[in-house]
Structure 1
Amino acid sequence: MDLGQFLGILRARWKFAIATVVLGSAATAMYLVLTAPQYGSDVKLFVSAPPSGGQADYAAAFILTQRIESYADLVTDSGTMQRVVDQLGLDESYESVRSKVSAEVIPSTQTVHVKVRSDTPESAQRIAEATGAEVVGLVERLEAPSGDEDPALVARVASEASISDDRVAPNIPLVLGVGILLSIFLAIAGAILRDLLDRTVKTRQDIEDVTGSAVLSTLPFEPEVKREPLITGHSGPLAEALRVLRTNLQFANLDANRQTILVSSAVPDEGKTLVATNLAISLAQSGRSVLLVDADMRNPNVAEMLGLENSVGLVTALVGRATLQAAIQEHPSGIAFMGTGPKPPNPVEVLETQAMRDLLATVRGKFDTVIIDAPPMLPVADASILTTEVDGALLLVRHGSTTREQLRLAVERLETVGGRLFGTILNRTPRRVAGAYGDGYGYGYGYGDIPEIAGTEPRRSPRASSRGQRRAVR
């Protein structure tokens, strides 16, 4: 991983990183608030051998070297601590007291340094004094057990137990600094780990590695799309990216003057309906005659987005209840639109009919470009069936949502039926955004019978009247 990749991961995971640092710092601060302050008291014990002169002094010095570590260890012995508890009349166990006491031999000296930490300065001093006195008595008992002989070693209190109102623990600057540094480390490590475990597609290279196909356009995320989904009259980044897509499509099938293009995605909520609709508008703005067909009979959304009627359309034309001209509406943006019509109980069977193939052949001869908004590839077989009847397909990939496995399976399904993939579109980049554009799916199979339709002219919805009058295509 180079520096650019590292910075890219942090840029993509900045919310997670900041949240981790904030939570870690808050946990550190909470620890400091909830941890009771500790106060210290120190007492130093000097252990020596009584002078006797000659060889005896050398022997005493050797004995002192051997035993002083043992006496430092005996400071926190259970017997010593219990006697301290009894002497002070403490209302706690010797284990509790022992946890507050530590002892060590100061290197190259004959001094045992006893440290006590307690909840109050007075308590720390009392325990230190009692411990020092107890160790002095312990050395005397062990070195002269009979009481009538001179001890080989003696211990004395070299410095009285100290008292201070300054807390010794927790060390606020140290703990806070360590907590923040640890939080930063966890934020960076967590961001890298999440990126390694994340199997979603986020870059053009990810898509090209999986599909072996070029990314025809990268569409930016624009929050305004939810409120105004159509690019009619817009000149923002999304409109420009769609113009790039329109231009690149001209090179996808150079030999064809007329094109039938299917727009699909691996799974629902990738934004295919919005992209198909706006791509059709962008093509119409370039002077081409465009027909937008909503072939998602399970969950049609294009009519609502355009403000047109969906009660008459593809299904009614296929079953002969409306003429092709009556099933097609015009939109003020310049595109012609054919809705799904009433929902059939068997969308797959409808799409597999010879009537469907004939209809696609007919509209292909009437329009320069036919854009078909199809269901996602993986949940149902509808898109796979339609792929065999079109010049090529565009596959929508949602940034940070579609996984590599989903994309691979979608391309595999398309190749299985012999379909042609014109290319892919990376949608809603570069930011990670929760939620969808509103093209949610609820795929089911119990739609019931096709309702009777009076006449051959579709009814205009109130919304259609406000968006522009529908005109039959001649």
Structure 2
Amino acid sequence: MDLRQFVGALRARWIFSTVTFVVGAIITVAVVLLSSPQYGSSVKVFISTPSGGSAEYAASFIVTQRVASYAELATDPSLLQRVVDDLNLDESVEDLEKHVSATVITNTQTIDLQVTADTPEGAQRIAGATADQLVDLVEQLERPSIRDEAPAIAARIAAEPSISDVPVSPNIPLNIGIGLLVSLFLAIVGALLRDLFDRTVKSRQDVERISEQAVLATLPFDPLVKRTPLMTETGGSLAEAFRVLRTNLQFSDIDGESHAILVSSALPNEGKTLVATNLALSMAQSGRSVLLIDADMRNPNVAELLALENSVGVVTVLVGRTSLEEATQPHVSGISFMGTGPAPPNPAEVLDTQAMRDLLTRVREQYDAVIIDAPPMLPVADASILLPEVDGVLLLVRHGSTTREQLRLAVGRIQTIGGRLFGTVLNRTPRRSGDADGYGYGYGHGYGYGYSPQPDPEPEPRATVVEEKLRGLTTRGRRVRR
């Protein structure tokens, strides 16, 4: 990972990093400030050879080695048990062992006993009792076999145990500083690990590598779009974003003839409805006649965005209740709109009819461009049914939501059916992301498809439903191959 990727990962995960650091800092401060103060006491025990003893000369060679052994015995459980019994302490030997330490002062024969306790007096009492027990232990172990002979090594307490009203712990500035550094480290490492194991699409390079098509536009996230979703209402960056998309579509060699564009996505909530609507508005502003069709009969949203009627539309035309002209509604922006009509119980069957294919043929002859807002590719087959009847697909990808596998499956489904992928749109990109063009928006609409990615099934043969059955909106009917 180079520096650019490192900074990009932290920028993409800044919320996680910030929350981790703040939580760690709060925990650190709380633990340090709520910790009980500990007071310390020290006492020194001097190990030597008694002057005048017959073994003084020989003992001087081994006393240094003995000092280290007695320092270890100072914290032995058997010695500490005698301290507990002598002082009648409430704590166990295991607890006391955590508060007593013994070290040999470098280049000396002195053992430094360090003791901590909840009070200065308590620390002093424990330090004195431990030193007394160590002196007794040395005397017991070094007692000569001959009664009148002096011991080779003796222990003496050099001075009374110290006492101080200043706590030795916690060291508030030091502990808080260490805690903040640890919190910062965890925040950075956590962000990098989350980015490493994240399988969602986060860059236009990922999208282009998987789809093998160019990203025609990147649309930065803009929370204001939920209130003003149409480019005719907002203007500015939103309008410019769709001019970029419109221009890039022209360079995709689809301009100059009457054509139909299907707008879809791998999954719900990736932005296809608003993109289809605003793309139609942008094309209309360039002087072209545009028809926007809402073909998402499971969850129609276009009519609500345009403040138009959805009770008449595709279904009512297919069943013969209204004519094409009667089902087409003008919008103040200059586009024409055809809604879904009443919700059928079998959307896929309604779309997979000769009547629907004839309808698309007719509108393509009447308009310069036909934009179709279709359901997402993976949860249902509706978009796949329409693919052979359009010139190509514009596929929406949501930054940080669509996974690489989901995008791969959606592209694979388009290729399996023989559809043409014009390109992709990367939606809801962070505003500071290097992938952003600097224009656009992000949004989400709810679906109830309950989708989980599965391998693509074998394509089913195309079929139709007799006109009489379509009029009743039923799933029963005679299916024949095209």
Give TM-score scaled by structure 1 length: 0.90
Match of 2:19 in 1: 19
Deviations, residues 98-145 of structure 1 (Å, cap 9, x unaligned): 322111211211101111111111100011111112222222222226
User: How far off its partner does 1:11 sit?
Assistant: 1.2
TM-aligned CA distance change 1:172 to 1:451, over 3 Å: farther
* Counterpart-to-counterpart distance in 1, 2:198 and 2:290: 39
- 1: CA distance, partners of 2:91 / 2:299: 72
> What is the deviation of 1:53?
8.1
Q: Which residue of 1 aligns with 2:456?
A: none
Matched, 1:167 2:167: yes
The answer to whether the aligner puts 1:439 opposite 2:439 as a matched pair is: no
Give, as a single letter, the amino acid of the residue that structure 1 aligns with 2:149.
E
Counterpart residue number, 1:223: 223
* 1:288 partner SS: coil
The match for 1:362 is: 362
* 1:92 pairs with 2:91: yes
Contact residue 319 and residue 470 of structure 2 kept, 8 A: no
Give the match for residue 468 of structure 1: none
Write the letter of the residue equivalent to 2:447: Y
**Does the aligned pair in 1 maintain the 2:56–2:152 contact within 8 Å?**
no
- Partner SS for 1:192: helix
Which residues of 2 match residues 268-307 of structure 1 at below 5 A? 268-307=268-307
Q: Is the 8 A contact 1:298 1:347 kept in 2?
A: yes
Query: Cα distance, 1:348 vs. partner?
Result: 1.3
- 1:78 is matched with 77
Q: CA deviation at 1:31?
A: 1.3
Alignment-derived partner of residue 469 in structure 1: none
In 2: Cα distance, 1:451 partner to 1:181 partner: 71
Q: Distance in 2 between matches of 1:96 and 1:371?
A: 76
After the TM superposition, which residues 64-75 of structure 1 pair with which residues of structure 2 at under 5 Å, given as runs?
A: 64-75=63-74
| Identity of matched residues, % | 67
Tell me the CA shift for residue 452 of structure 1.
Answer: 9.2
Tell me if 1:30 matches 2:30: yes
- Is contact 1:281-1:334 (8 Å) kept? yes
Map of 2:188 onto structure 1? 188
User: Cα offset for 1:235?
Assistant: 2.4
- Partners of 1:451 and 1:184 in 2: CA distance: 66
2:479 corresponding residue in structure 1: none
Report what 1:120 is aligned to: 119
Distance between the aligned counterparts of 1:184 and 1:303, measured in 2?
49
Q: CA deviation at 1:149?
A: 2.7
Question: Contact 1:344–1:450 (CA<8 Å) still a contact in 2?
Answer: no
Where 2:389 maps in the other structure, the secondary structure is coil
8 Å CA contact retained: 2:228, 2:234: no
The RMSD of aligned alpha carbons is 2.1
Q: Could you list the per-position Cα deviations for residues 343-392 of structure 1 after superposition, in whole angstroms to 9, with x for gaps in the alignment?
A: 11221121111111111111001000000000000000110111111011
- Is the Cα–Cα contact under 8 Å of residues 101 and 114 in structure 1 kept in the other structure? yes
Q: How many residues align?
A: 445
Unaligned runs of at least 5 residues, structure 2: 433-441, 451-468, 474-482
Q: Which residue of 1 aligns with 2:436?
A: none
Residue type of the partner of 1:60? A
**Pairing of 1:183-262 with structure 2 (within 5 A):** 183-254=183-254, 256-262=256-262
User: Per-residue CA shift, 1:56-89, capped at 9, x if unaligned?
Assistant: 4431112313322221122122332222222223
**Aligned residue identity for 1:90:** L
Structure-1 residue corresponding to 2:143: 144
1:286-312 CA distances to partner (integer Å, 9 max, x unpaired)?
100000000011111111111111111
Indicate if the aligned counterparts of 1:220 and 1:430 stay in contact, CA closer than 8 A: yes
Structure 1 Cα separation of the partners of residues 32 and 80 of structure 2: 29
Q: Contact between 2:394 and 2:423, CA under 8 Å: does it hold in 1? A: yes
- Structure 1 pair 168–230 and aligned structure 2 pair: CA distance change class (3 A): same
Post-superposition offset of 1:438 = 5.3
Aligned residue identity for 1:370: V
Instruction: Please say which of residues 301-310 and 78-87 is displaced more in the overlay.
Output: 78-87
Are 2:104 and 1:105 equivalent residues in the alignment?
A: yes
The 2-side partners of 1:278 and 1:112 are apart by 83
CA contact (8 A) 2:48 2:153 kept: yes
Q: Given residue 430 of structure 1, which amino acid in structure 2 is its aligned partner?
A: P
Partner Cα separation in structure 2 for residue 93 and residue 191 of structure 1 = 43
CA distance in 2, matches of 1:186, 1:451: 63
User: What's the counterpart of residue 46 of structure 1?
Assistant: 46
Question: Which structure 2 residues correspond to residues 49-60 of structure 1 after superposition, within 5 A?
Answer: 49-52=49-52, 56-60=55-59
Counterparts of 1:298-317 in structure 2, within 5 Å, are 298-317=298-317
Residue 263 of structure 1 corresponds to which residue in structure 2? 263
Query: How far did 1:190 drift?
Result: 0.5
Q: CA deviation at 1:220?
A: 2.1
Give 1:332's aligned residue.
Answer: 332
Aligned mates of 2:419, 2:472 — CA distance in 1: 35
Q: Which runs of 5+ in 1 are unaligned?
A: 454-474
Question: Aligned partners of 2:305 and 2:94: how far apart in 1?
Answer: 74
Q: Provide closer, same or farther for how the CA distance between residues 407 and 337 of structure 1 changes in structure 2, counting only shifts above 3 A.
A: same
User: Bigger shift: 92-101 or 291-300?
Assistant: 92-101
